[in-house]
Structure 1
Amino acid sequence: MGDGLRSALTLGGLCLLMLLAGAWGWQALTQPLPDNAPAPLCTDTTVSAGTEIFRDQVAVSVFNGSSRSGLAGATLELLEDRGFVGADTGNAPQPVRRVEIWTDDPKNPAVRLVKRQFRQARVVPGTEVDGEPLGRGVVVVLGQSYTSLRDGGVESVKARGDATFCSPPGS
């Protein structure tokens, strides 16, 4: 084989490789981007009457309605240590005296389970501030007189009726 033929074959092979690489690159460039949306923290889960609800099935948001710095975050961490799924923390839109659980469904088993972790918690109607939900899951607002969680607390409750609450996917 002559030098000219060898050079032509080498050049042809390199051009073919370049065309293949260009086609692959164009296909990769024009492909839609993958959906990197994070999985939701919790989704609405419906349970029937008599179903036992455990701590790891309940998402909780804790807000500080007192003048003590870091109270919501520290309390959420304690609830997570007990097995609850931590959702949101922050400052409450208004001060409260004791512990309040904001909900539209006071008989919800998730609300009852969270309430039984606190001393003297009171359930108050409403979960929204200016038309927006204050937090995901069961919303707890801590007041100035809050000191600590109840020792031990209840690990589960049974649903007294059909109920829907925010639960982590797959729980």
Structure 2
Amino acid sequence: MSRIDDSKQFIPVRIAVLTVSDTREMADDRSGDTLVARIEAAGHVLADRKIVRDERDAISGQLRAWIADPGIDAIISTGGTGLTGRDVTVEAHRDVYEKEIEAFATVFTIVSMQKIGTSAVQSRATGGVAGGTYLFALPGSPGACKDAWDEILEYQFDYRHRPCNFVEIMPRLDEHLRRK
């Protein structure tokens, strides 16, 4: 349920999109395209976009580089969240998390159950925070990216969403790193 407080001003979030795939290129990255279209349609800024192979070090390395970039507020990856041996995106995300957003996986599962039934158990979508940056790992299908954005992230990345949202606490995500 979305409750938008129109008395608040919209604040654009700078979001990077990472596609994890051994076979995709920008020309055929439908999941990345889905995310980019939704990010921009919502009024946010596409801060960067890349494709990396299903290699844990390559994924975590790109995440760390973007976490260190002050021009990026959030990272959404797509692909590599399944159960096969090559699916290591979740592990790479957890390598960099300072805090995991456990409820993201739960809410994503609820959304997925409504769309694909019990097949939702095969997703290991995850979310977390590191270095003041939000990170989300989504499955590699355009449908899963659409569902995660349309049902969860679009609202949480909208400062006007009530009763709370990710944007309003963004300035405090790294308060533990600052000198007191």
The two structures have a TM-score, normalised by structure 2, of: 0.36
- Which structure has the highest strand share of the two? 1
Identify which of structures 1 and 2 has the higher relative contact order when contacts are C-alpha pairs closer than 8 Å and 6+ apart.
Answer: 1
- Which structure has the highest helix share of the two? 2
Greater CA radius of gyration, 1 or 2?
Answer: 1
The two structures have a TM-score, normalised by structure 1, of: 0.38
